[in-house]
Structure 1
Amino acid sequence: MKIFYAVQATGNGHIARAIELMPYLQQYGEVDIFLSGSNSSLDTSQKLPVKYRSKGVSLFYSNKGGLDYWKMLKHFSPLKVFKEAKDLPVEKYDIVINDFESITSHACRMKNIPSVNFGHQASFMSDKVPRPKKKNFAGELILKKYAPARSYIGLHFEQYDDFILSPVIKNKILSARPADKGHVTVYLPHYSDLQLAKKLKNLKDIEFEVFSKRVKQKEVNKNITFLPIDNNGFNESMIHSKGIITGAGFETPAEALYLGKKLMVLPIKGQYEQLCNAEALKNFNVPVLEEMDALFSNSVKQWLDSEQKKLTLQYSTESIVSKVIYTARGLREDRSNQLSTYLDIHPSLSRLLLD
């Protein structure tokens, strides 16, 4: 069986999940990856069979915790997206799995190829998933219409609906023996290193390990150690941390809660999905900060003395992949049956195709 797997590369979470899923997917057949986006910092060269690439529709951040809409608009080309969708050979594959990737969605719609939208964003097709008190119309539109598919399998912190499964947790995290070596792990790519240093240096009694896109090797600045982004290095830091401060994404918060680590989140300003995640994380007693304000130091100290709820997994990675494959196969079989029925009704078209 030939499997087309479209992976969004606007951050590290989608790629990290794809790397974890790959051995399980390959048990079902040959997997080709379409990597779309240009914001990831992870090396995929040895870990993912990337056959197709695109700059896609990428997210860019300002240095103050928000989205850089001007830069995003400048890099967006509708004509290029249309051409790439037209040229993407989704019709040559037995099943198509789409992790919130727009070009693949357009390609499947043009060619009438069924696909499964699989991942965290798919869960937002359910209105039972937590949202902020004030919904954002544009944000809801993006979550539900950015990558439409024939079927959806979502991932979230809790099973809010029947098509929503547990997070995919890396084997490294699943098999870890968590320990507290006293440091706090920080991953906030939507803030500059300068801003982070300015705030974290005030907490002199706490050691911080900050993962940064800027540094190429370890840099120590008093109580702050800046480290280059590396999947294994970040895992080790998180496993042995006292707590984790990060954005309100999905993968890292899920792993932190699974490990039983204390978690604090600062959602990216203007990113509706993160605001939704933040609402869900409040059910785990996770503090949500809008920004690093004058009260940040006190907030960190109070947080480290607090108690939080631990994440429990209801599905294994193997069972999640099995569910995705089963659903995708069903869609393909339905399409084949519909085509056979149509050709039976229109025998002249059937003869034309055979000729």
Structure 2
Amino acid sequence: MKILYAIQGTGNGHLSRARDIYPELKKHGDVDIVISGHQVDMNLPFPVKYRLKGLSFIFGKTGGVSFWQTIRRMHPMELFRDIYSLPVEEYDLVVNDFEPVSAWACKLKKVPCIALSHQAAVAQDIAPKPSCKGVIGRFVLKYYAPYDNQYGFHFKRYADNIYPPVIRREVQALEPVHGKHYTVYLPSYSDAELIRFLHPFRGVEWQVFSKHNKEAFTFENISVSPVQNEDFMNSLSTCAGALLGAGFEGPAEALYLQKKLMVVPMKRQYEQQCNAAALEALGIPVIPALSLKHFRTVNRWINSRTRVEIQFPKETASIAISRLIEDFINKTAQTMNRSMPEFY
């Protein structure tokens, strides 16, 4: 079987999950990879056949998506050319992790596209939603990377086709300890904004991982380092707590390591607002922004010993892929049987 595995390249979550999904797909056929998107901070340990610009939402520096930078980096003609030229029709199966080029290429060429992503779970009505309507966000979840069938990942199994998070083997191999520092990864805030907010907590050691700086530096009780996978995992596994964006993989890994967690959802990013609603329902503290009016909430969290205990299974990638492949083969067989003429 020839499989095309399409991965969203913006951020680290999709690529983190791909490290475990790819080997499982390889068990069922020959796998080619297509990645599209900006702001990729992580390299994959396997070959990538197609690297495309795609269509990405760019992180700002004040806690939200930068619509100006998003528009400025759009290349609509290149996007349309990539959609028309990507040879999805050459594959038996297209598995899509919120990647728009392959998804629209499949729609254009009438090739089945199967979503395997966190967004596929968030989009379902049964998954937790924020109080805001999020009309634009719902539109993006539905039409950004359309699919014919979906399997999702979320913090809870809200439906039969929604699985727990895929916890990377690297994270599973860690031996977490309770240290004194706090790990911070909030890519939609600038280093200056983070230092301004964190600096007043004088008795706390903060280890900040930054998308906006290539050189490590220290300012009093705050160390700032560029995002490096191994450094971040070491910091997370030995921290007293983690202050993270309301993405999916980061909070899931912190919970797997039994870490005290607080999240700050990105402004104007509906998916993160949905994640924050789901985490809050599980008992995770959420603040809407790094503003002074939330200073006391963060201080109480620092001084609290309460943490939410959630157990995530280790074999989610294998289970989800086995189900996806089995359903695909069964559906293909049914389609072939229906198309065969009857002889009497």
Give the TM bin, normalised by the shorter chain. Answer: over 0.9
Query: Structure 1 125/65 Cα, relative in aligned 2: closer, same or farther at 3 Å?
Result: closer
By how many angstroms is 1:312 displaced?
Answer: 2.1
What one-letter code is carried by the residue in structure 1 that aligns with 2:35? L
Q: Which residue of 1 aligns with 2:131?
A: 133
C-alpha distance 158-327 of structure 1, shift in aligned 2 (>3 A)? same
2:35 equivalent in structure 1: 35
| CA distance in structure 1 between the aligned counterparts of 2:105 and 2:332, rounded to whole angstroms | 16
**Which residue of the other structure, out of 164, 171, 174, is the alignment partner of 2:172?**
174
Which letter maps to 1:303? Answer: W
Contact 2:260 2:308 in 1 (8 A): no
User: CA shift at 1:333, angstroms?
Assistant: 4.0
Following TM superposition, by how much is the alpha carbon of 1:322 offset from its aligned partner in structure 2, in angstroms? 1.4
- Shift in alpha-carbon separation, 1:39–1:332, aligned structure 2, 3 A: farther
Paired residue for 2:258? 260
The residue type paired with residue 308 of structure 1 is R
Alignment of 1:95-244 (within 5 A): 95-244=93-242
Residues in 2 aligned to 1:125 and 1:264: alpha-carbon distance in whole angstroms:
23
Contact 1:244/1:262, CA 8 A, preserved across alignment = yes
Could you tell me how far 1:148 is from its partner in structure 2? 1.6
- Is contact 1:254–1:311 with CA below 8 Å preserved after alignment? no
Task: Give the Cα separation in 1 of the matches to 2:48 and 2:336.
Answer: 28
Aligned-residue CA RMSD in angstroms?
1.8
Corresponding letter in the other structure for 2:63: G
- Tell me how far 1:15 sits from its aligned partner: 0.7
- TM-score, L = length of structure 1: 0.90
Are 1:309 and 2:334 counterparts?
no
Distance between the aligned counterparts of 1:59 and 1:48, measured in 2? 25
Cα distance change of structure 1 residues 53 and 330 upon mapping to structure 2, 3 Å threshold? farther
Q: Matches of 2:66 and 2:86 in 1, distance apart? A: 29
Asked if the contact 1:12–1:40 (Cα under 8 Å) also holds between the matched residues in 2, the reply is yes
Tell me how far apart the structure 2 counterparts of residues 76 and 222 of structure 1 sit (CA, whole Å). Answer: 39
Q: Distance in 1 between matches of 2:305 and 2:142?
A: 35
Aligned to 1:72: 70
1:248 corresponds in structure 2 to 246
Q: How many residues align?
A: 340
Q: TM-score, length-normalised on structure 2? A: 0.93
Q: Distance in 1 between matches of 2:123 and 2:299?
A: 37
Partner residue of 2:2? 2
| Separation in structure 1 between the aligned mates of residue 165 and residue 75 of structure 2, nearest angstrom | 33
SS at match of 2:49: strand
Shift of 1:337: 4.8
Task: State the AA in 2 paired with 1:231.
Answer: N
In the TM superposition, what whole-angstrom CA distance separates every residue of 1:61-92 from its partner, at most 9, and x where no partner exists? 22211111122122223333222111111111
Question: CA 1:60 to 1:200, structure 2 compared with 1: closer, same or farther past 3 Å?
Answer: same
Cα offset for 1:7? 0.2
Cα distance between partner residues in 1 of 2:136 and 2:333: 35
> Gaps spanning 5+ residues in structure 1: where?
346-355
Give the deviation of 1:275 after TM superposition: 0.4
Shift of 1:326: 2.3
* Deviation of the 1:306 alpha carbon: 4.8
Q: Deviations over 1:8-65 (max 9, x none)?
A: 0111110111122222222222211100101211123xx1321011111111122211
Contact 1:8 1:15 in 2 (8 A): yes
* Residue identity opposite 2:242 in structure 1: I
2: distance between equivalents of 1:295 and 1:242? 23
Give unpaired runs (5+ residues) of structure 2.
none
Percent of aligned positions that are identical: 39
For residue 334 of structure 1, report the CA deviation from its aligned partner.
Answer: 4.8
Q: State whether residues 122 and 274 of structure 2, in contact with CA within 8 Å, keep that contact through their aligned partners in structure 1.
A: no
1:321 and 1:6 mapped to 2: Cα distance?
14
Q: Structure 1 CA distance, aligned partners of 2:91 and 2:102? A: 12
Q: Secondary structure at the match of 1:204?
A: coil
CA apart distance, 1:176: 2.2
Q: Structure 1 pair 81/215, CA: closer, same or farther in 2 (3 Å)?
A: closer
SS in 1 for 2:292: coil
CA contact (8 A) 2:5 2:96 kept: yes
Greater mean deviation of Cα atoms: 4-13 or 306-315: 306-315
Residues 275-325 of structure 1: CA deviation (Å, up to 9, x unaligned): 010000012221111111114442222113052322222553221221222
Distance 2:14 2:329 in 1: 23
Name the structure 1 match of 2:269.
271
Partner of 2:61: 63
1:73-127 residue CA offsets vs partner (Å, 9 max, x unmatched): 2222333322211111111112110001111111111221112101100013421
Q: 1:232 to 1:53 in 2, by over 3 A?
A: same
